[in-house]
Amino acid sequence: MIDQQQSHLLARLERLNAIGIALSAERDNKRLLEMILLGAQEITNADGGTLYTITQDKKLKFEMMRNKSLNMSLGGTTGKEIPFLPLPLYLEDGQPNLTTVAAYATLKNQTVNIADAYQTESFDFSGTRKFDEKTGYHSQSFLTIPMKDHESKVIGVLQLINAIDAETGTIVPFSIENQTLVESLASQAAVAMTNHHLIDGLKGLFEAFIELIADAIDQKSPYTGGHCRRVPELTMMLTQALIDAKSGPFKDFTLNENELYELKVASWLHDCGKVTTPEAVMDKPTKLSSIFDRIQLVDQRFELIKQQAECAMLKAQIEILKSGGSNQYVQDRLAEAERKQHAFNTYCDEAKAFLRQANIGSESMTVADLKRIEEIASMEMLDPSGNKVPFLSKDETYNLSIKRGTLTAEERQVINNHIVVTINMLESLPYPQSLARVPEYACGHHEHMDGTGYPKRLTREQMSIPARVMGIADIFEALTSKDRPYKKAKTLSESLHILGKMKVDHHIDPDLFDVFIREGIYLKYAKEFLEPEQIDEVDLTKIPGYQPAELSMQNG
């Protein structure tokens, strides 16, 4: 008999040890709580049980309820809500609630073992009796154990109901041996819960810090701030399409939950280096923008040079009148001077309109455009001292001669340097193993598949699939962005045409591009983030680099 009891106790100890190991490995909070309650029921052969956690407003929240006889399973992973209000630890007058056994165990930080709830007068079991009357159940023996963390602070309560004798099937009190085992389980469970909450807290803090960086960039520039938030969305859309692929080059590609989180973190941080980029460069809306748009000065200068020319004409006309001659001759010379002035005014007005358009930077500058800028720049006007000076300064001429966009080569280098700053920032962080590839994923979105990108000139073979995914996400978001000050938002067909050319030029991964088109990722993203007027009809056969064979796969 003694040997049988020892064997039974040893089996329960082994089961307790196994549950403890499982608790330390579980990362899902609901499954963790469920494992605690079911493990306690298993060790004690309890028919029912409830697990509570303590809320910030000092109440015991029902997290989970199980009852074998009633076939009841509420809370936890079941998705079924528990219809009971939390139990207050303190009454309305501020006094401790010592009549409810779960609250008592919490406040007193001690285990309560009750052989028969109907025979005790120490606690108020009126709610339990009503439950029994309603369900036909008989709640008799109770074991209520506070769950204490490493600082002996109670973070939850484990309550077991009706220990069942394994041989007779009758309800019996919870034995001291079972109480000791469950107290041990509760202690291990509290540590597991604390670790879980700590990990969740640190993870939440880390994510909040990442979003704080994005918000800082958002405050610095609303144009790139939206970019920092949209690129992660598109990155995860395309990545999920690769994971779901049943055929093709990505049929074996997969990422687990931790790896997906690693990529998500990287996509949020991919432009963090922009916190150091000057706003005047990052948000430069026009070629002549500095503290303000200097095209306004150029406009005023056109009016001034016309007035100076008109003054010169009037002086010339006075000299013509003084010189004498026949009336017709004088009138012809006066009229010629006015015609030249009118022609000069027209030239200035056209030149002003041309420079205003060139200043926007929305179109590529042709050789003829660059020559015209030089011609306008070489016009002479008088400075305040009466000296002749060029109409445009060297800096104005240089900026207006930018062939594409609004940035000079030097400003472009400042912008490009953000990725170097990003690399330095991200590589300096002490990552856990699960986030070790964040720098690699985040810092490759300006590389090209042919090795002509920057800053490391990596080739396709040197880059991981997630890093290549982020490259496409970064480009497509920028192409379709509606909040850039220096360009009009492009339509879907325009953006896909440019992206297709980048595939042909070996700038982006060709296989990823095909999945991006074939699986309709572009359209899914567009419906969520683009304006209705941007979502035009896309003719897939006209997208550069998208072959009919791939199109037939879509139709098939």
Q: Over the stretch 142-201, which tens digit does the pLDDT of each residue have?
A: 999 998 887 888 989 999 999 999 889 999 999 998 898 888 888 877 877 887 778 888
**The two structure tokens encoding residue 135:** 């369900």
Give the Cα separation of 370 and 356 in Å (integer): 14
Helix locations, 271-402, DSSP H: 279-282, 295-323, 327-360, 367-377, 394-400
Pair 233, 528: CB distance under 8 Å? yes
- Could you tell me the pTM of the whole model? 0.71
- List Cα–Cα distances, 213 to 269, 326, 414, 436, in angstroms: 8, 80, 20, 19
Give the Cα separation of 147 and 185 in Å (integer): 9
In this structure, the number of other CB atoms found within 10 A of the CB of residue 20 comes to 17
Tokens 């850039």 correspond to what residue?
A: 484
Pair 157, 183: CB distance under 8 Å? no
Pair 477, 227: CB distance under 8 Å? yes
Q: Over the stretch 367-424, which tens digit does the pLDDT of each residue have?
A: 999 999 999 999 999 999 989 999 999 999 999 999 988 889 999 888 888 889 999 9
**Rg over CA atoms, the chain:** 38
pLDDT band, residue 510 (cuts 50/70/90): very high
The reported pLDDT for the residue numbered 458 is 95
Secondary structure percentages of the chain, helix, strand, coil, to 5: 60, 10, 30
Give the Cα separation of 292 and 278 in Å (integer): 15
Q: Identify which of 156, 101, 155, 157 has the alpha carbon closest to the alpha carbon of residue 124.
A: 101
Give the Cα separation of 198 and 209 in Å (integer): 16
Helix locations, 481-547, DSSP H: 492-504, 510-518, 521-529
**The two structure tokens encoding residue 212:** 């704080």
Give the Cα separation of 227 and 248 in Å (integer): 30
Q: DSSP string covering 260-274, please? A: HHHHHHHHHHTTGGG
Q: Identify which of 238, 311, 210, 243 has the alpha carbon closest to the alpha carbon of residue 518.
A: 238
Q: Over the stretch 30-46, which tens digit does the pLDDT of each residue have?
A: 787 788 888 889 888 99
Q: DSSP string covering 178-194, please? A: HHHHHHHHHHHHHHHHH
Give the orientation angle of helix 465-480 with respect to helix 492-504, to 10 degrees.
140
